[in-house]
Amino acid sequence: MKKYTYSAKRSDNKEKWCVVDARDKVLGRLASEVAARIRGKHNPLFTPHTDTGDWVIVINADKVRLTGNKWDQKTYYRHSGYTGNIKATTAKELMAKKPEEMVRKAVRGMLPKNRLGRKLNNKLYVYAGDQHPHGAQQPELLEI
């Protein structure tokens, strides 16, 4: 009798859509739960090299919390590639300009840094308000 470990395929996964309300949630804790859901770690079929996760919609991203003095001390960097052309933005400035970008960056940092991670990153939708255009997918509310 052969014994082998079952390796899930993407077609084995029944992908669901979930809505997460970010109102008054701490950013890091929210991002780790969302990243685990996108990755599929909640699923008994979880296979590290396969996409077995769900699609996640995050609403109220503009109401997310940061603990301590992170509003002033947390810095997001971007670089154009040219010498001396690094730009820095604090969390407070980023929240004022693009509130959904903070959640997107936090979740992306918790996904794998490879082809699979780039593919999984497309399964996240973040909106600043409480409305989203994905009603046709019949998402279920996910409590975090």
What are 2-56's pLDDT values in tens digits? 788 888 998 898 989 999 999 999 999 999 999 999 999 999 999 999 999 999 9
Using DSSP's 3-state secondary structure scheme, residue 122 falls into coil
Q: How many CB atoms lie within 10 A of CB 120?
A: 20
Q: Where are the beta strands (DSSP E) in the chain?
A: 17-21, 55-59, 75-79, 86-90, 124-126, 140-141
**Structural domains of the chain in order of their starting residue, each with its CATH number:** 16-65+96-141 (3.90.1180.10)
Q: What is the pLDDT of residue 3?
A: 80
**Which tokens go with 118?**
């780039």
What residue has token string 């019949």? 138
Q: What is the pLDDT of residue 10?
A: 87
70/3: higher pLDDT: 70
Residue type, 78: R
Q: What is the pTM of this model?
A: 0.92
Do residues 91 and 70 make contact, with C-beta atoms less than 8 angstroms apart?
yes
